[in-house]
Amino acid sequence: MKKSVSFIIAACCAFVACQSPTTDKDKDSSQFVTLTDAVPDAILEIRYYGTYNFVGTRIDGYLQPTALLTKRAADSLRAVSDDVMQQGYRLKIYDAYRPQVAVDHFVRWAADIADTLMRTYFYPDVDKSLLFEQDYIMAKSGHTRGSTVDLTLFDMTTEKELDMGGTFDWFGTESHPDFCGNPDTGTFTGDNSKSPTGRAITEEQFQNRMILRKAMLRHGFRPLDSEWWHFTLNNEPFPDTYFNFPVKQLE
């Protein structure tokens, strides 16, 4: 049985209020690198540093428009970059390491049901009161462990983002890798029955998602079943550590 919305909101807010103080380990960035130092061909569009995101404001903990990753994840992402470069693409990064204070910001925002500033752009089909219940917002994120990245592909021929048939951070089934197709086989089916409003993507858009997915899987990342843009390193070095140092250029 699903928990009531009020229970979930109360539990998430209690987590933020009662979490233990940050430890020295949480603040240790020594095993991280600035992503563009390791992957110089990557393009950055750090959505949580700006205001074009589902909250509509800069997110706590993002002090500079840069991206950080663990060294191990960055090395693997460099291999992905080299792979897609040979296919005529560059990686475009929306988010990588995300400090716990940023996740806490998301939780506070989701509990404020009246704040729907960016609903039209990111969650028009989802009632904000259901964001906790449907796991769009959670009190912990794999990004905070430092080896998860949100990204897309930039087409070097057209000099535009590759058309994925949907925007980063769209809250809905249309963001699922299996929307309108089978990501395990790369087969487009056109089945849009999971979309509450009958939205769909084309075969070309589905296959564009598969180009990114296949490259990431080839180089040691695993996908998320609810977001076509989200990947985590299989052998991530800190599977149980949730870091809380800010996003800024590392010295």
* Residue 227 annotated in active site: yes
Considering the candidates 161, 203, 227, 251, report the single residue annotated as catalytic: 227
Nearest alpha carbon to residue 84 among 226, 214, 178:
214
H helix intervals, the chain: 5-18, 35-38, 71-86, 100-111, 119-122, 203-218
Q: In this structure, are strands 148-155 and 227-233 parallel, antiparallel, or unpaired? A: antiparallel
Query: Taking a C-beta distance cutoff of 8 angstroms, is the pair 238, 28 a contact?
Result: no
Q: Which run of H or of E encompasses 221?
A: strand 221-224
**DSSP states of 156-183:** TTTTEE---SS-TT--SGGGSTTTTEET
Q: Which residues are catalytic?
A: 227
